[in-house]
Every structure is written in C-alpha cells, then in structure tokens.
Structure 1
Amino acid sequence: MSDSADRNVFESARPRLLGLAYRMLGSMADAEDAVQDTFVKWQGADRASVVNADAFLTTICTNRCLDYLKAAHRKRVDYVGPWIPEPLQTDTGSDPETDLERAQSLTTAFLMLLERLTPKERAAYLLKEVFGKSYREVAETLQMSEAGCRQLVSRATRFVQSQSPRSVPTEEQQNMFLSAFMSALETGSTDQLAGLLAESVQYRSDGGGKTTAITRTLEGSKAVSKYVARILGRLWQDGQGQVFEMEINGMRGLVLHNGERIETALTLGFTENGLVDQLFLIRNPEKLARLEDTVHCDAKSGALWH
C-alpha cells in the first residue's frame, strides 16, 4: 500500500476516532492529541502485517485514551471546583430516528455520567453501545477475554440505565426552559423557572480556578432557582455581554459573549418527564476557547469532525 493510500485509510477513520476519543476524555484538545498519536503509530507500523486497519487504529486510539485518563485522574485531584467536560458547538443534523442516540452519547450530562465508570468500563461501553463493535472486537481492543469484556459492558450498562433514562427532551421543552431561565435573569422572578426544575436538580459551575465560579454543587429547586435569579441575574445583566442560543453537545444551550469572547456556556440535563435536573455552567476560559468553531456529528457512526 502506498503512503498516499495509507494516509487515506487513516483520514477516513479520523472522524470516528475523534468521536471515540472525545467521549472518552471529555476534552477536544486531548482527543485531538490522542488521534494524532494514533496517526504517528500508524505511520510507524508494519502495515503489511495489519489485517484489519480499522481494528488496529481503534485499539491504538483507545489505549492512548486510557493512558490520558490515568494522567487526567492525577490532575483532577487538584482541580479547583467541579470539573465539567469541554463544551462543543455541535451541528448534529435533524434526523429524528437518531435523536436518542445523539443526545445520549454527546450531552454533557451523559459525559459526566461516563466519568463515574472506570476507564475500561467507559471504553468497553462506548465501543459496544455507541460505536457498535462486537464483544469480540471490544475484547481484542482492550486485550482481555470476551467473558471479561461482557462483564465490563454489563456493569456499565446497568449503571448508565439506572442513572440516565433513555429519553430526550423535545425541542419545545428545551425552548421552554431556556425562555424561563432568561426570564428569571431579567426579572428576578423564579415562578416560571422553579416549575421546570426537578426537586433534585443540581447546579455545577466550572471555572477551573481561572475565573469566578461557585466551587460547590448547589442542590434543590429552591436553592438553584434563587441562585439563578439573584446571583446570575445580576452578573449576566450588569455586564456588557450578550446572550445567544447555541447547540451545545447536541442540545440547546446558552452562551454569554463579552465582546468577541465567549465568557460562559450553559448546558442542561433533563429527567425522563422533561424537567431539568442538571445545570452546567462552564466558565473556564481554556474550555471555551474553541466554542465558536462548529463540530459536526454523524449520529449514526458517532464520528466528529470540524
């Protein structure tokens, strides 16, 4: 195979590898590094001995992500306040048949759920349930027995299903909440907002120690709605920023612009009956630096590309 053909093989796999790496790591910068590391390994491989290029690349990328997760765990011990995955401005299309899979695999709420799995559980679950690999392929990728792989996927699936009902809020429900959120910011009234929050709602803000952000998790509809109306309302309305709607990780969200720079991004998690049970406010400038760049998503394959 020529160098050109070898590169074409890799480039055809790159979007899928990037989709896997981002879901594994919650960081597009780290995901791109993992994919680039995979390319370097591909260039140096004896490709005549590679029987299945897709399986080879998936294995290299997955194991590189597992290495990144080990390093990330050490870094997050010292992270200031809650850690939230890097938000993406997404273009996921509008195929209603794939809305469920799209929302489940890209939303901030789902990525946060994956953080509670072990790295190998996360890898096995994503490869099997999101990227459609067989148990044999997943086992070969993770270099373990097929029986062990089935146990990993089974544990991860039970946890995910117990924590995350497989339902997606309608466009109307998403719009209704964003409208109520903006009304609370502008008027200070929590009447409309409180009715759309689950009793167990949680509010997290990620500033990473680099900008102002509350460093504890707020819980309960009363505390969260009061904080939005009284604190965020003052902060968002007193400044010179403008608020815009944006598709963030496959769902509607809000961004606060301050001049040419995005200062804050808001994304949500919903319950099975359409109430908001999680609010994620990302303020860490390192995580917002590339939010203006649209990332396209193929919901059927899980692929991501710029």
Structure 2
Amino acid sequence: MNKLETKTKRFEDARPQLMGLAYRMLGVVADAEDAVQDTFLKWQAADLAGIRNPDAWLVTVCTNRCLDILKSASRTRMSYVGPWIPEPLQTETIALQEEDLDRAQSLTTAFLLLLERLTPKERAAFLLKDIFGKSYDEVARTLGMTEAACRQLVSRASKSVRQDQARFTPSVEQQEAFLAAFQNALATGSADRLEELLAETVSLRSDGGGKATAISRIIEGRHLVGKYIARILGRLMTDVRLERREVNGIGGLVTLDGDTVVTAMTIGYAPDGTVDRIYLIRNPDKLRHLTAPARHDPATGGLRFH
C-alpha cells in the first residue's frame, strides 16, 4: 500500500466518527457530508510529517468547519417556514451496551433539538467532551481556547442539557406499545388508548418547511394531541402506507406514497415511559436519506451511510 492509499485509508477509518460528530452538530445530513468532505480535502493536501496526532487533527478541522456552517445556518433558519426539526435518519443501531447509552441517546431528535438551545461553541464543546469522550485539553485545542474557558463552556452546556429530560431512551416494549396505540388511533379515530401513553405536557410539532402541508403551530396537551392524531391525521393518512422503522435510534413510523417517503415520525419519551414529544417531518428535502439505514455504532458515536 503506497502513501496515498495509507493516507486515504486512515481518513476512511475516521469518517464514521467524523460524520457522527458533524450530524449531531448540524442536524442536516447534506451539511454534515459537506463538512466531512471539506475535512477530507484538507487532509489530502496536508503534510503528514507536520501532524503529530492525525485523529485529533481531523476532529479539529471537522469541528471548525461545522462551526462555520452553523453561522450561515442560523440566518437561514430565521426565515424557515414553521417549526424547524433536524433531518431524520433511518438508523440501524448495532451492539448497544449500557455504557454506550449517552452516545445512543444523543442521536434522538429530541436531543438534537435540545442542542439547538446552546451556542455553537457550547454545542461543540459538550459533544466532544461528554459524547465523544475527549479530554478538556483536547477540546480546548480543537476550539482554540484555554482549558479553563473550555470547562466553563461544557459546564454551561451540561446544566442546560440536564434541565431537560430529552435523553431518556425507553424500552423496546414501551416503544412498541406506543406505536401500536398510535396506529390504532389512526385506524379507529379513537384516541382513548393513545392518550393513556401520552404525558400531560406532550407536544406535537410538524415540519413542512413551506414545501409540504404541515400544521404551523405546536400542539400541546394530552387531549389536544390525541384528538389531532385520531381525527386529523387519521383522515390524512388513509391513502398512504405506514411502515415502522428505527428513526434516530428510536422506533418510529414513516408514511409512503408508492415508494416515496412523505412523512417521518420520531418520538421523545419522558422518564416514566410516556411520550412527551412527537415530531412529524414532511419537508421533502429532509426525507431523502430515509431510503436506506445509516449504521450507528453507539460505542464510538459513528455513522456510516454507505
């Protein structure tokens, strides 16, 4: 194997983790792919003789490219039509161990939206330290900050994240029970069983991005959400096919018109097992990556798309 092949292989070995970091940072697959590709181009042009720690170099370049993308993304999202929800992923989670739960939970839609509350540098510092296990020294070097300033960033981000319960992952049985009740409500027009599984403070939001029909306001409360699902969605989904799929690491549903995905539903759960967040993504630009699962390795946080 020549030097170029060795260099390329080293990058390809790092690609899944870089993609996992970039997707969590940006919430958009195409943007994450751009950040990783830009990192690859810089890697190809770099002189390895001057790089003492290739993995740290790659993470630094990718993280800072994500920060640049977030600057322009914040302006775009200000003019977004309706609620903005991260782009959903059809996932295939492999070999989930108890010690890997933090990384697995950090892929859920509810958690990605929680990260939106943080400043870009808080988001980067928190993900690198708490999710990808980098030392404070490594995070500080990546972000070009002092270690003390980096500790403050992570501390602020951690407090914000821990105030919310979006990181809870339910059992398979709890997920199956909710999906069955949801489908029953669509089929029968009755939300009685469904409402038993909804939290009092449950919210439902729909993202059409001005390109697909979607409710423009957030619906809140067990009774209103249950009634909307049973009476409104039940009518809207009569002519489409429903399939259960793993979406962002959680059991979800997609609706298809022929072979085209027109809606993806992903869910957030409260620690008592009730559902407290329902997300319906209908913007067709965000559904293109639901044709095949991305392999998610919770041990590393890596995402492999091909």
Q: What TM-score do you get using the length of structure 1 for normalisation?
A: 0.97
Deviations 1:136-177 (A, max 9, x none): 000000000000000111111111111126532111111111
Match of residue 147 from structure 1:
148
Contact 1:91 1:295 in 2 (8 A): yes
Deviation (angstroms), 1:47: 2.0
1:92 is aligned with what amino acid? T
* CA distance, structure 2, for counterparts of residue 130 and residue 94 of structure 1: 17
Shift in CA distance, 22/166, structure 1 to aligned 2, threshold 3 Å:
closer
**Separation in 1, partners of 2:161, 2:105:** 10
| Cα distance in 1 between the residues matched to 2:97 and 2:227 | 35
Q: Is the 8 A contact 1:100 1:167 kept in 2?
A: no
Other-structure match for 2:259: 260
Distance 1:59 1:114, change over 3 A: same
What residue in structure 1 maps to residue 48 of structure 2? 47
> How many angstroms apart in 1 are the aligned matches of 2:26 and 2:168?
24
Contact 1:244 1:255 in 2 (8 A): yes
Alpha carbons 2:100, 2:299 under 8 Å: kept:
no
Q: How many residues align?
A: 304
Counterpart secondary structure, 2:290? coil
* SS of residue paired to 2:272: coil
Determine the C-alpha separation between the residues in 2 that align with 1:92 and 1:98.
14
1:82-97 alignment, distance < 5 Å: 82-97=83-98
Q: Matches of residues 282-301 of structure 1 in structure 2 within 5 Å?
A: 282-301=281-300
Structure 1 residue runs of 5 or longer lacking an equivalent are none
CA distance in 2 between partners of 1:179 and 1:295 (Å) = 25
Instruction: Spell out the pairing of 1:202-241 with structure 2 (5 A cutoff).
Output: 202-237=203-238, 239=239, 241=240
Q: Distance in 2 between matches of 1:152 and 1:304?
A: 26
- In the alignment, structure 2 segments of 5+ residues that lack a partner are none
From the superposition, tell whether residues 146 and 93 of structure 1 become closer, same or farther in structure 2 (CA, over 3 Å): same
**More deviation in 259-268 or 38-47?**
38-47
Distance in 2 separating the partners of 1:290 and 1:166: 24
Matched, 1:81 2:82: yes
Structure-1 separation of matches of 2:209 and 2:287 = 12
Q: Are the equivalent residues in 1 in contact too, given 2:185–2:191 (CA < 8 A)? A: yes
Percent of residue pairs identical: 59
SS in 2 for 1:278: strand
Residues in 2 aligned to 1:50 and 1:197: alpha-carbon distance in whole angstroms = 52
In structure 2, give the amino acid aligned to 1:288: L
- Name the structure 2 match of 1:162: 163
Equivalent residue, structure 1, for 2:129 = 128
1:100 Cα deviation after fit: 2.3
